[in-house]
């Protein structure tokens, strides 16, 4: 059966992001994939209200990870569930992803967290629940993804938070990112269609997704196909947090801890043990650690018996 590739653009209609995603999809189609494109900004997708009914439903066994908001998200959700490959392009706004991009990430997670959904699925199945009351089994499909970050500014550092934050769209569903393209200086061209170097890189990104989808082993499927290996072996990015002990470093995308050293040539090296790599929130181990901490440590209503009284001075204050 043909593999399905979904392309999402968060840019302006028929501008850079749209055309780059469609260019990558055309390569996937040439390789025999079924493709679908969505211009996300044309959809009515409301921001998450934080009600957490998606997670509470799963942890209490009453829900299957659905959202109570009524809008177009279900159309995007169905396309996400169907796809095997995901290509996402986003413009840079203020060095970061757009508001709509973030809204979509919040709506996908934690409701779609594969560790929450798997536990709910397995427990429901064991309890004899009918299929329509269980999380969608397509949630557990192994998917590959690629990012395209577009920025108008002439210097790369005005796209600084793009690729780290674009990972948010993969966190909960566990999509394995195999390639990324950073296009800066977009405003020096009327349109990316006049920038053959970037167009060629986008075609390569599409071919990389098709290649990953055709792989026979999991190792081959998840193989990194980007230009730069990056310093973090899991997310392939170079962002580093230095922790208060001034000895430990952290990859902020993965949440993995490590160490840093500088060799005789002044070159910086980051070290993450295999255990820490497996604790990455991009991997099952890191997601399970997170869902377990929520399940075991989050408290429900009733912990503060006089909460209503304590809230009174704040209700309506200075509004």
Minimum CB–partner distance for residue 156 and ligand FMN (Å) = 9
73, 80 in Cβ contact below 8 A?
Answer: no
Of 153 and 239, which CB lies nearer to ligand FMN in the complex structure? 153
- With contacts defined by CB under 6 A, how many residues of the chain interact with ligand FMN? 18
DSSP 317: T
Residue from 3, 6, 7, 16 binding ligand FMN (CB under 6 A):
16
7 binds ligand FMN (CB under 6 A): no
| Torsion angle defined by CA atoms of residues 126, 132, 135 and 137, in that order, rounded to the nearest 10 degrees | 90
177, 221 in Cβ contact below 8 A?
Answer: no
Q: Which residue is nearest to ligand FMN (CB)?
A: 11
Which residue, 309, 236, 290, 313, is CA-closest to 109? Answer: 290
Residues 160-189 within binding reach of ligand FMN (CB under 6 A):
184, 186
Minimum CB–partner distance for residue 184 and ligand FMN (Å) = 6
153 binds ligand FMN (CB under 6 A): yes
Minimum CB–partner distance for residue 191 and ligand FMN (Å) = 8
Of 160 and 278, which CB lies nearer to ligand FMN in the complex structure? 160
Minimum CB–partner distance for residue 15 and ligand FMN (Å) = 3
64, 136 in Cβ contact below 8 A?
Answer: yes
What 3 state SS string does 105-173 have? HHHHCCCCCHHHHHHHHHHHHHCCCCHHHCCCHHHHCCCEEEEEEECCCCCHHHHCCHHHHHCHHHHCC
Dihedrals phi, psi of 269, to nearest 5 degrees: -125, 135
94 binds ligand FMN (CB under 6 A): yes
Q: Show the binding pattern over residues 215-244: x = contacts ligand FMN (CB under 6 A), - = does not.
A: ------------------------------
Pairing of strands 4-9, 34-39: parallel
Of 189 and 257, which CB lies nearer to ligand FMN in the complex structure? 189
Q: In this chain, which stretch among 149-157, 208-216, 221-229, 247-255 interacts with ligand FMN, using CB under 6 A?
A: 149-157
95 binds ligand FMN (CB under 6 A): yes
Minimum CB–partner distance for residue 25 and ligand FMN (Å) = 15
Which residue, 129, 186, 127, 176, is CA-closest to 154? Answer: 186
Minimum CB–partner distance for residue 189 and ligand FMN (Å) = 9
3-state secondary structure of 68: coil
Cα 137 to chain centroid distance, Å, stands at: 19
- Written as six digits, the tokens of 240 are 């580093």
152 binds ligand FMN (CB under 6 A): yes
139, 110 in Cβ contact below 8 A?
Answer: no
Residue from 2, 12, 133, 227 binding ligand FMN (CB under 6 A):
12
53 binds ligand FMN (CB under 6 A): no
23 binds ligand FMN (CB under 6 A): no
Minimum CB–partner distance for residue 201 and ligand FMN (Å) = 15
Of 188 and 311, which CB lies nearer to ligand FMN in the complex structure? 188
Question: What's the rounded Cα separation, in Å, for the pair 41 and 239?
Answer: 29
What burial letters (b/e) apply to 97-119, b meaning 16+ CB within 10 Å?
Answer: bbebbbbbbbbbbbbbbbbbbbb
Which spans of this chain sit near ligand FMN (rule: CB under 6 A)?
11-12, 15-17, 91-95, 150-153, 158-159, 184, 186
């Amino acid at each position: 059966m043909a593999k399905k590739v979904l392309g999402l653009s968060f840019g302006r209609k028929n501008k850079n992001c749209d055309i780059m995603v469609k260019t990558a999809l055309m390569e996937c189609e040439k390789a025999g994939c079924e493709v679908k494109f969505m211009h996300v900004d044309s959809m009515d997708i409301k921001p998450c209200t934080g009600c957490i009914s998606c997670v509470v439903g799963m942890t209490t066994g009453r829900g299957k990870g659905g959202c109570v908001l009524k809008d177009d998200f279900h159309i995007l959700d169905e396309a996400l569930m169907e796809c095997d490959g995901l290509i996402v392009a986003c413009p840079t706004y203020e060095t970061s992803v757009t508001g709509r991009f973030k809204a979509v990430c919040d709506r996908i997670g934690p409701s779609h967290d594969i560790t929450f959904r798997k536990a709910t699925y397995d427990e429901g199945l064991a309890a004899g629940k009918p299929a329509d009351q269980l999380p969608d089994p397509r949630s557990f499909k192994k998917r590959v993804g690629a990012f395209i970050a577009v920025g108008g500014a002439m210097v790369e550092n005005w796209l600084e938070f793009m690729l780290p934050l674009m990972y948010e769209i993969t966190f909960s569903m566990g999509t394995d990112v195999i390639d990324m393209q950073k296009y800066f200086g977009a405003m020096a061209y009327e349109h990316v269609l006049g920038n053959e170097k970037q167009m060629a890189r986008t075609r390569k990104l599409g071919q990389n997704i098709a290649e990953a989808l055709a792989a026979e082993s999991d190792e081959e499927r998840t193989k990194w196909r980007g230009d730069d290996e990056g310093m973090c072996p899991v997310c392939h990015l170079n962002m580093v947090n230095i922790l208060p002990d001034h000895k430990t470093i952290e990859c902020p995308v993965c949440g993995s801890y490590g160490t840093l050293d500088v060799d005789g040539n002044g070159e910086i090296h980051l070290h993450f043990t295999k255990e820490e790599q497996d604790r990455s929130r991009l991997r099952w181990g890191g997601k399970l650690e997170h869902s377990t901490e929520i399940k075991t440590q989050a408290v429900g209503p009733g912990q503060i018996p006089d909460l209503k009284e304590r809230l009174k001075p704040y209700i309506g204050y200075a509004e």
